[in-house]
Structure 1
Amino acid sequence: MRPAMSAATKPASRRLFGILLMCLAVSTFAISDAMAKWLGAHINVFMVVWARYVVHFVIALVVFNPWTVPGLLSTRRPVLQVTRSALLFGCTILNFTALQFLQLDQTVSIMFSAPFFVALFAGPMLGEWVGARHWAAISAGFAGILLVAQPGAGGIHPAALLSLFSAGCYALYAILTRMLADTDKTPTTLFYTSLVGSVVASLPLPFAWETPQEPAVLVVLLLIGLVAGGGHMLLIIAHRHAPAAVLAPFLYVQIIGMIILGWALFHQVPSLWTLAGAAIVIASGVYLLLNERRERARETLEATLGD
């Protein structure tokens, strides 16, 4: 029997399909953020976050449940699972709140500072300390964030700090995801993500409930969970067809999607400062991704030669 192919050994056609799925996934994330911004003008943000998680949970329950996936709820690190899920919830509510005050292109540009936070946190949490070149890329990336935010120069709304905190939460979430990958199955981690998010989002509901007055609002509340959940499914399938190192640079397609949606739906044109800052953020992030890819390839080669 032929051994099963890993993502790294898939043929070129499979990798291209994985890249296509990745681009579709991040495009759906751009659409869900645009929906959140639109909904914020019609209903409170707690209702938006609640709808996003509950609908996502229902979808996850249909695809992954204890009957179709035996042992789904079994986790060797329950505290880590709950903490990771809570971090993603924090990321969501901070981002959705920031969207009410910032342009789509501004929020996504700041959110893409997450790889720099990952590089910063990976040292103390994973023992993966960065070198001088990494520090240079991280510094350049944060300089790009400053260009977007323009602090102290009559720049954008202070809600930019919410986007920055959201990026920090996402970075910690990403690191905990890597830590859980060695002990828990992917369906288990995905299920806990939607379950914990739904429970936490439901806690303030008795005080924050607001009945939608317009049919369009109700429809979009249902769609935001479907779109976000579908995006996560596309992301998972993409990683089955191509390695993460190949897919990672295409995350930045989301910035293009946000700029287009901001212009088409909200008549928001990005400023030159935002475009320049976003370009620096993308360049720095791609450098970190490519450098990590080279280091992993070198480690693999050294391990092979050692054998």
Structure 2
Amino acid sequence: MPHEPMTAPSIGTDEERSAANMHGIAAMIASMFCFNTNDMLIKLASEDLPTGQIVFLRGLVATGLLALLAWRQGALRAVPEVGRKPFAWRAVSDALGTLVFLTALFQMSLATATAILQSLPIFLTIVSAVFLKETVRWRRWAAVLVGFGGVLMIIQPGGEGFNVYSLLAVASLGLIIVRDLSTRYIPKTVHTLTISVVGSFAVMVSGGVMSLFETWRPVSPGDALLLGGAALFLIGGYVSIVAAMRSGELSTVAPFRYAIILFALTYSYIFWGEIPNAVAMVGIFLVVASGIYVFHREGRAKRRG
């Protein structure tokens, strides 16, 4: 699951701004490719292994490599900050959100689960207005309603493909929102890699706890390759999303997160022969369009501010 954006630095001339935006866009697309490839690989592994075992074993590799990377960059010096409440809230919500989402992902189409997850900016707008008292004007509310309608078209309550896993995918959004809001209260002096290591460790531990209630299965060489590859792509996603958010303007770079839906549609067709029906495709379009509009309006609001 993609992690929260960071504030981009100020950019100088038009030429520098254009170059930074192009770099940010390329990094954003790369991060979405990495994150979705991770999802695809562990979904393939789920055909042989239970959820908790997958999350724990992938976490062993990912957390170890992230910790090594953080140590080399001096990002582990802020370890005392880990004991603060924002870190705890973020770690717990990240772990639970990952488990809930993956439980849904392993039982439904990759394209559908991914599209539902991309409605996150829409629901963040609602939470920001209701709980954080941020000003949201009518145009953004209209985009939120359109996006919510898109989500309903994707999950199609009462339809043939609707089941409890569709609701789990939507429920995971609530936990991801808690994760992202908790991140806002972590001191900005804390390195992004420190946050990533703690989050990855929490997810790994939650997978280990879940695996205690499952029957562990032998890991074949093929499954080991899938899990190892997933861990590497997950780290690639972390590194790329940081590069994306540190380059260019957020309102320009952020909408390219929706490239992940193209990757998900491609993987769903290649590996499982799945194509969303016409109603779901319209819903996906509405979610993407409304999300891009929300990013656009937020960008304008920040420039005015």
TM-score (norm: length of structure 1): 0.89
Q: Quickly say closer, same or farther: Cα 1:8–1:202, change in 2 above 3 A.
A: farther
Q: Is the 8 A contact 1:50 1:202 kept in 2?
A: yes
Residues 257-286 of structure 1 show CA distances to partners (whole Å, capped at 9, x for unaligned) of 000011111111221111100000011111
The within-5 A match list for 1:200-219 is 200-208=206-214, 210-219=216-225
Query: How far apart, CA to CA, are the structure 1 residues paired with 2:11 and 2:25?
Result: 13
1:279 matched to 2:282: no
User: Equivalences for 1:1-307 in 2 at 5 Å?
Assistant: 6-9=9-12, 10-65=16-71, 68-69=74-75, 71-75=77-81, 78-180=84-186, 182=188, 184-208=190-214, 210-299=216-305
CA gap of 1:69–1:232, structure 2 versus 1, over 3 A, is: closer
Segments ≥4 residues shifted beyond 4 Å: none
Which structure has the greater CA radius of gyration? 1
Describe the superposition over 1:44-96 as per-residue Cα deviations: whole angstroms up to 9, x where unpaired.
01111112322221111111139833623031871111211221222211121
CA 1:241–1:101: 2 relative to 1, 3 Å: same
Q: Is the 8 A contact 2:98 2:203 kept in 1?
A: no
Cα displacement (A) at 1:8: 3.8
Aligned length: 295
1:192-216 CA distances to partner (integer Å, 9 max, x unpaired)? 2122222332223444362434210
Q: Check conservation: 2:63, 2:201, Cα contact below 8 A.
A: yes
Task: Report Cα offsets for 1:220-263 as digits up to 9, x if no partner.
Answer: 11221111111111111222222322221001000000000111
Flag the 1:203–1:114 CA change in 2: closer, same or farther, 3 A: same
SS at the partner of 1:72? helix
Deviates more, 1:257-266 or 1:131-140: 131-140
Bigger mean CA offset, 120-129 vs 11-20: 120-129
TM-score by length of 2: 0.89
Classify 1:241/1:44 alpha carbon distance in 2 versus 1 (closer, same or farther; 3 Å): same
Report the AA paired with residue 105 of structure 1: A
Listed as ranges, the gaps of 5+ residues in structure 1 are 300-307
Q: After the TM superposition, which of the residue ranges 252-261 and 162-171 deviates more from structure 2?
A: 162-171
Maintained 8 Å contact 1:75/1:188: no
Contact persistence 2:52–2:209 (CA under 8 A): no
Q: Counterparts of 2:149 and 2:123 in 1: how far apart (Å)?
A: 14
Separation in 2, partners of 1:152, 1:76:
44
Per-residue deviation, 1:129: 3.8
Shift of 1:141: 0.7
- Greater mean alpha carbon deviation, residues 72-81 or residues 278-287: 72-81
Q: 1:7 to 1:39 in 2, by over 3 A?
A: farther
CA distance in 2, matches of 1:162, 1:7: 39
Structure 2 counterpart of 1:218, one-letter code: A
- After the TM superposition, which of the residue ranges 221-230 and 69-78 deviates more from structure 2? 69-78
Q: Is the 8 A contact 1:249 1:286 kept in 2?
A: yes
Equivalence for 1:302 = none
* RMSD value, Cα: 2.1
CA distance 1:172–1:67, change in 2 (3 Å): closer
- What is the percentage of aligned positions where both structures have the same residue? 23
Q: Aligned in 2, Cα 1:136/1:204: closer, same or farther, shift over 3 Å?
A: same
